[in-house]
Amino acid sequence: MTNQPMTEGPLTAESVKPTTAVVIGYVCRPGEGSEAGTSWAFTRAASKVARVVLFTVPDVKEDVDAKVAEEGLPIEARYVAVPPPFRWLGSVPLAGPLLAMLGYLTWHLKVAMQLRRLERSRVIDVVHHVGFSSDSLPTALLVSRAPVRIWGPVGGASPLVPGTWRYLTARGAAREVVRSVCLGAMRHSFGAWVARRATLVLALNGDVHRALAPNAPAIEICPHIALDPSELEAARAAAGEDRLVPSSLRTAIFAGRLLDWKGVLLAVETMRFACGWRLVVIGDGPARNAAVRRARRRGLSHRVEFLGRLARQELLALYARSDALLFPSLHDSGGWVAAEASALGCPVVCLDIGGPRLRAGRNAHVVPARPARSLPVRLARQLEAICGRGVPDDMHLNGMTDMVRRWYGPATEKAYVGTSRR
């Protein structure tokens, strides 16, 4: 695959390092949570086993350049801008999500052209699309001719369980219908196309694995994210300094963008049956007003508090002292908050859908999504059954470099140990 010096002994994934890896990370920022932080973690891990060319957006330039210089990482960052019309119009009501998607696709088209020129000018051993990977959208990875082409971790595919529409607003339910029809069709075309072109697909959860496995030469489930041990330690130290009002009730946190499908209305409804608990909602979004109205109509305003957005370190401190994270997302592919809470020993009450249960690890308290009508009662029972805090779960803190070294090995057959095949 590359020009390597002669070595004694067998050729293994551990003894051969690729010369150059191209990492495609739409938003890749050190010190961030969610996908931007995970994208950087994979990029940094890749730089430990290869020389990296990173394609990302100009918004992260200052942070990426500073971190590369600080740690002396072998990363050559190339900043590709989203075309201005899409960048300016992404917040337009109703049409905003569609315009944002078109901007994302146009960005990949620009990266694809640069990637082809790069592959003609030098040897590229690996192309890896990390972060913001959807199983229903095409990617610049499609044009690559590198020997190793890795797609993911990839999200999507998790369906909305029948009956859970009752926990959505009317607008949210309409969006879910459109999502199911449109993204389902796109998954069967674009998703299958990318899966066939990749040498390895990394699926965020079992739903994605099942959807893409028929077309993927190799596929494995990879719910991993990156957490900074120093951030977690600081959160433990600051756990007694958060802004929560003291209460005799136990405290459940809901954290994330306040979107219908994230389950914020379901979390509020659960409080009707969890009389010994209060709910603190962290975040903002289009479903906030509906959640506030729901709490008021149910007579729960005294037990449901909306704090809005918090700084990342404040949120981590809340995880470190709260009694549970209530995160009944209706089709979340990953669920970064579940991993953060679990790493700090916070029990995570979630559904048996998508990725949160995987990312919560040993601290997951999983409630079946069916039957949907009784979900609030069963979620409340699960909360009431929690006895004390959990054990900090560090499953996401270590081993990323070893995983990347295995994935980037000299050949799919030798490197991808333990993956599923057709």
The 3 state secondary structure assigned to the chain is CCCCCCCCCCCCCCCCCCCEEEEEECCCCCCCCHHHHHHHHHHHHHHCCCEEEEEECHHHHHHHHHHHHHHCCCEEEEECCCCHHHHHHCCCCCCHHHHHHHHHHHHHHHHHHHHHHHHHHCCCCEEEEECCEECCCCCHHHHCCCCEEEEEEEECCCCCCCCHHHHCCHHHHHHHHHHHHHHHHHHHHHHHHHHHHCCEEEECCHHHHHHHCCCCCCEEECCCCCCCHHHHHHHHHCHHHCCCCCCCCEEEEEECCCCHHHCHHHHHHHCCCCCCEEEEEECCCCCHHHHHHHHHHCCCCCCEEEEECCCHHHHHHHHHHCCEEEECCCCCCCCHHHHHHHHCCCCEEEECCCCHHHHHHHHEEEECCCCHHHHHHHHHHHHHHCCCCCCCCCCCCCCHHHHHHHHCCCCHHHHCCCCECC
Q: Within this chain, do residues 216 and 271 fall inside the same structural domain, yes or no?
A: no
Q: Is residue 122 part of a domain?
A: yes
Indicate if 378 and 407 belong to the same structural domain.
no
What pLDDT, in 10s, does the model give residues 237-273? Answer: 877 666 666 678 999 999 988 988 899 999 999 999 9
Q: For residue 6, is it within any domain?
A: no
Residues of the chain with pLDDT under 50: 1-18, 90, 92-95, 411-422
Judge if 91 and 157 occupy the same domain.
yes
Which domain does 310 fall in, by range? 229-385
247 and 145, same domain (yes or no): no
Same structural domain for residues 95 and 161?
yes
213 plus 343 within the same structural domain: no
In a domain? residue 112:
yes
What's the pTM value of the predicted model, to 2 decimals? 0.81
Asked if 152 and 268 sit in the same domain, the reply is no
Residues 144 and 251 both lie in one domain: no
Specify the pLDDT at position 287. 92
Is residue 204 in a domain? yes
Residue 314 shares a structural domain with residue 405: no
pLDDT at site 99: 72
Q: What is the CATH number of the domain that holds 255?
A: 3.40.50.2000
Classify residue 186: in a domain, yes or no: yes
Together in a domain, 207 and 306: no
If asked whether residues 75 and 185 sit together in one domain, one would say: yes
Q: Could you report the per-residue pLDDT of 211-224, keeping only the tens digit for each?
A: 899 999 999 998 77
- The pLDDT assigned to 2 comes to 41
| pLDDT, position 7 | 38
**Whether residues 321 and 207 fall in one domain:** no
Is residue 144 domain-resident? Answer: yes
Residue 422 belongs to a domain: no
CATH number for 217: 3.40.50.11720
Domain count, the chain: 2
235 lies in some domain: yes
